[in-house]
Amino acid sequence: FGNIAAVERFQRSPEGKALLRSMEKRGLIGLAYWHNGMKQLSANRPPRVPSVKLTLEYEGGDFSGWAAQPGLRTVEGELGNALATVLRVEVKLSVAGRTDAGVHAWRQVASFAVEDIAVELPQLVGATNALLPPDVSVLGAEAVDDGFDARRDAVSRTYCYRVVPGAVRRPLERGRALWWPHQMDEQRLEECAAVLTGLHDFTAFTPVRSEHVRFEREVIRAEWCRRGEVLEFWIEADMFMRHMVRILVGTMLEVSGGRRTVERFIELLHGAPRPEAGATQEPHGLYLASVLYGTVPERSRVLTNMSTSMGRSAPKA
């Protein structure tokens, strides 16, 4: 056989099963022959490359998003350059959420595979941060299972959108929250958030020209919370589409101001065209808050740890 995949296919085939039955008839010697052969073939597999998981925080105002782009300042570009200097080899980064220009992150997760790391992980964090600009930082690094991928292995992502309502703008929230000097009914916002949980078609909440081929997303939780003078919209889902949270917020604010009804908002969750939803709100109010890996019961612990470290109470899990 050329490789282990071919062996595994043969094992599943009628011929392979027949051979195994004949080995079983020979007793322990036959079974030992079979299993030792499989061990030998498995030993010939090419070694898997270890992976490193990074937790990041960044202020997105001066970045042209996450993804590296020629001639533009991006988070991936800055991080990739710093890691290449420290590791003396270029790495291919995978990321949990490809944030747009102006979007911030409290707990972004990236990963990369590298055959040999010349420094210990704590030193990797320090050395990388020494090369990074002040608006992005590596909060931690850990070795993870071979083949770990920050994007593919994520169970869910949580985003937060911050809004400052009121007639007077707040300079200290400039670039960190959306100022909303318009009519607002918080009860209507809560009613909109309450209907988001579950599986819905979010075609109306992503640009018409989209790379997505499937528009259904499962929302695990969604709620509006007030933190002093700031309103925060928290949403956790298995995956998100481009501009999805910003369009949801824009549409809910229109409901809050009386420009559309909650009933009409609900209708949009069944696959309405993009023009029927509200405006795409500004990116600077949006934060990638956390990324969950592992099993669902871990969610409450992850959110509690994240919220405690940020000095805020955790949203309901």
Helical (H) or strand (E) element with 84: helix 75-87
Q: Which residues pair with 52 in a beta bridge?
A: 112, 143
Whether 100 is catalytic is yes
What's 126's DSSP letter?
H
C-alpha 80, offset from chain centre: 18
Q: How many CA atoms lie within 13 A of 176 on its CB side?
A: 9
Listed residue (78, 55, 54) closest to 66, CA to CA = 78
What 3-state class would DSSP assign to 180? strand
Gyration radius from the chain CA atoms: 24
Three-class DSSP category at 110: strand
* Catalytic entry in 100, 149, 153, 185: 100
162 beta partners: 232
What does DSSP assign to residue 216?
E
Which residues participate in catalysis according to the annotation?
Answer: 100
